[in-house]
């Protein structure tokens, strides 16, 4: 077993109908740009009725058809927010918790220790988070139920250096399931990053399950200048 093997994101997505929500952070092979990607998937009408829209400091989710929105709880939030020279990427409103803690000089670990997994038992969807620094290094975290009853929270944190060509992929679920969807297990997965943002974005979008995919965000940031290019793809255009 090669623990340093770099996997193919296209393969990981193509053979998984429901990884849920996913974060990818990493560095392009030429070492010049950091990469952040976030996607959402959904099985219910309420979850699927969403799009990503741009904000001055990132993106937010909103209802594609407001008349179909039943419960904004857990599905309307800011997945991406800039924090100083860094970028926060999460699957819930813990984005704002992290932003508030960083703004007053506290750590992202301290912020996430105030939060738990989502209150959607019996799935207890994990809260996944990433923090990308301006030098290309990044942190990732998952908060998930410690038992089937959701009576306690297990918190995991990882830190990664900027390594050309390497990224890490963290998602909420192992795969689809009924009635309970199995939560992500182990460390974030080592995956290959591409120099070409358009090709990387299209690869992600094309390999997400067509029935369950909803929206995708990708940002490439030049490490020397801090300038970035980003793309948003929504199933509901």
Q: What is the pLDDT of residues 171-194, one digit of tens each?
A: 999 999 999 999 999 999 999 999
Residue 116 φ/ψ, nearest 5 degrees = -130, 180
| Distance, CA of 124 to CA of 107 (rounded, Å) | 25
Of 19, 7, 6, nearest to 208 (Cα)? 19
- What are 226's two structure tokens? 């801090």
- 80-83/86-90 β-pairing: antiparallel
Residue with tokens 């991406």: 80
Is a pLDDT exceeding 90 seen at residue 26? yes
Of all residues in the chain, the percent with pLDDT exceeding 70 is 100
Is a pLDDT exceeding 90 seen at residue 50? yes
pLDDT in the model for residue 237 = 82
Q: How many Cβ atoms from other residues are within 10 Å of residue 47's Cβ?
A: 14
Long-range contacts of 153-157 (CB under 8 A, 24+ apart): 153/116, 153/117, 155/112, 155/113, 157/109, 157/112
pLDDT in the model for residue 91 = 98
Sheet holding 189-192, edge to edge: 189-192, 166-171, 22-27, 33-41, 213-222, 228-234
| Distance, CA of 209 to CA of 16 (rounded, Å) | 7
Region 157-162 average pLDDT: 98
Region 34-61 average pLDDT: 96
pLDDT in the model for residue 1 = 83
Strand partners, 62: 51
Burial class (CB in 10 A: 0-12, 13-18, 19+), 125: buried
> What ranges in the chain are assigned the alpha helix state H?
9-14, 45-48, 94-103, 108-112, 197-207
Of all residues in the chain, the percent with pLDDT exceeding 90 is 95
> What ranges in 122-216 are assigned the alpha helix state H?
197-207
| Distance, CA of 184 to CA of 168 (rounded, Å) | 14
pLDDT in the model for residue 223 = 98
Is a pLDDT exceeding 90 seen at residue 59? yes
Average pLDDT, the chain: 97
193-213 pLDDT, tens digit each: 999 999 999 999 999 999 999
**Residue 51 C-beta-side C-alpha neighbours within 13 Å:** 14
pLDDT in the model for residue 36 = 98
Instruction: Find the largest Cα–Cα distance for the chain.
Output: 51
Low-confidence winner among 69-73, 74-78, 139-143, 196-200 (lowest mean pLDDT): 69-73
91-150 pLDDT, tens digit each: 999 999 999 999 999 999 999 999 999 999 999 999 999 999 999 999 999 999 999 999
pLDDT in the model for residue 173 = 98
């Amino acid at each position: 077993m090669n623990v340093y093997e770099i996997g193919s994101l296209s393969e990981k997505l193509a053979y998984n109908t429901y990884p849920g929500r996913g974060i990818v952070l990493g560095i392009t092979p030429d070492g010049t740009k950091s990469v952040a990607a976030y996607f959402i998937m959904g099985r219910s009408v309420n979850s699927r009725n969403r799009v990503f829209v741009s904000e001055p400091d990132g993106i937010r989710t909103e209802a594609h058809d407001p008349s179909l929105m039943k419960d904004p709880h857990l599905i309307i939030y800011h997945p991406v927010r800039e924090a100083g020279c860094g970028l926060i990427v999460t699957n819930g409103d813990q984005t704002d918790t992290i932003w508030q803690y960083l703004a007053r000089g506290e750590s992202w670990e301290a912020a996430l220790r105030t939060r738990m997994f989502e209150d959607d038992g019996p799935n207890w969807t994990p809260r996944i988070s990433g923090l990308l620094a301006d030098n290309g290094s990044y942190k990732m975290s998952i908060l998930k139920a410690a038992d089937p009853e959701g009576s306690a929270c297990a918190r995991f944190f990882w830190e990664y250096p900027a390594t050309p060509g390497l990224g890490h992929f963290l998602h909420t679920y192992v795969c689809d399931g009924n009635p309970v969807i199995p939560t992500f297990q182990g460390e974030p997965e080592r995956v290959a990053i591409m120099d070409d943002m358009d090709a990387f974005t299209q690869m992600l979008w094309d390999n997400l399950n067509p029935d369950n995919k909803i929206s995708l965000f990708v940002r490439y940031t030049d490490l020397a200048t801090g300038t970035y290019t980003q793309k948003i793809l929504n199933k509901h255009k």
